[in-house]
Amino acid sequence: MSPNCERFLLVRNPHARGGAAHIADEVAARIHGTGAAVDVFETAAPDETDPVPGLADTLSGHRSAAVVVVGGDGSARTVAEVVSRHLGTWPAGTPGGGTSPGTVPITIVPGGTGNSMFRALWGDVAWQQALGSVLEGRAATRPIDLYRFVEAARAVLLGASTGFFRWTLDATARFPELTGRELYTAAGTAVAQELVAYRGRVEVDDVTVADGPIMLAAVGGAAHRSGTIHVLPGSELDDGRLDVCVLAVGTREEFFALMGKVVDGAHGGEPGVVLTRGRRVVLASDSGDLPFEHDGEIWREHTGRVTIDVVPAAIDVTCPGAS
């Protein structure tokens, strides 16, 4: 990424549980220290029409601007959709999978709970070091895919799932004193003691890959969930495909045995595990009530079927440059 960017559009989530407000102040100070201008925006409440008030209009007026988002995976998703719509890469993506003309690079700074997208892009690098690379022009810019939640006409960035991860998000309300990955660990442990599989099916490119009891179906491009669970080993953010993992088991004992391997990404080939890839995925529940989430956000609308497909090379993100 060029070190000559003169304006940064800083988006923060004031409600993120990972200290986003404090981190955003530090980010703004570091950008100011380079002599660049900073415009600050906040993500809106979920029921607001404009998800980041003023961001789209400002992007139209400053085509050379770069975006920095401070928050969790949900905040990164929100900004990614705004930028993709601004660039015109939503919902078709970029033909040929290249960088979009008039691109707007997005830098993700972790300020949420799981921060899995930051890990997917930067690995174990501290955010201060990652931001320094961006401001000093040492970072690379990489086109990555988005995914489309078809029924809601809504972008997905990190990924989507049914079952265990959704139930874990529901349980986070029980632990208001916790933040970060400790919150997900506590919630997941609580949920694991109460698990009952839902009955449904998963279709990948019109082929049914699972039909029956399901404890977890995860779809997306980033390898980890909750920042630590290696649910989609070998997945890529820019291959124009959706990675899929299904734990098609019906008992808690089977689930516990598999999750011990999922954490390390060692679950391929295990009984009850489906690992595959495709361009369109359908998740469905026999009961008509699908426990669904995407990007760490609970989807509360009653639905029995969700379709996810690929929006190739929809946005550009910053990541480590060549060493």
Question: Do residues 281 and 213 share a domain?
Answer: yes
Q: Cβ(67)–Cβ(74) under 8 Å? A: no
What's the pTM?
0.94
Question: Do residues 164 and 123 share a domain?
Answer: no
Question: Do residues 101 and 201 share a domain?
Answer: no
Residue 269 has pLDDT above 80, yes or no: yes
Q: Considering its fold, how many domains does the chain have in total?
A: 2
Residue 6 has pLDDT above 90, yes or no: no
- 215 occurs within a structural domain: yes
Chain segment 222-266, per-residue pLDDT in tens = 999 988 899 999 999 999 999 999 999 999 999 999 999 999 999
Chain segment 147-190, per-residue pLDDT in tens = 999 999 999 999 999 999 999 999 999 999 988 888 989 999 99
pLDDT of residue 261: 97
Cα–Cα separations (whole angstroms), residue 202 to 168, 211, 218, 284, 308: 20, 7, 10, 6, 11
In Å, the largest CA–CA distance within the chain is 58
Question: Do residues 214 and 297 share a domain?
Answer: yes
Question: CATH code at 218?
Answer: 2.60.200.40
Question: Do residues 114 and 199 share a domain?
Answer: no
Report the candidate in 116, 127, 129, 134 with the shortest Cα–Cα distance to residue 295. 116
Question: Do residues 173 and 308 share a domain?
Answer: yes
- 108 occurs within a structural domain: yes
Q: Report the distance separating Cα 134 and Cα 137, nearest Å.
A: 5
pLDDT of residue 2: 56
Q: What percent of the chain has pLDDT over 90?
A: 81
Question: CATH code at 122?
Answer: 3.40.50.10330
pLDDT band at residue 20 using 50, 70 and 90 as cut-offs: confident
- 2 occurs within a structural domain: no
Question: Do residues 16 and 124 share a domain?
Answer: yes
Question: Do residues 48 and 131 share a domain?
Answer: yes
Question: pLDDT averaged over the chain?
Answer: 92
More confident position, 82 or 20: 82
Q: Residue 129 sits in which domain range?
A: 7-146+314-319
Work out the angle between the directed axes of helices 180-192 and 252-262 (0-180°, nearest 10): 150
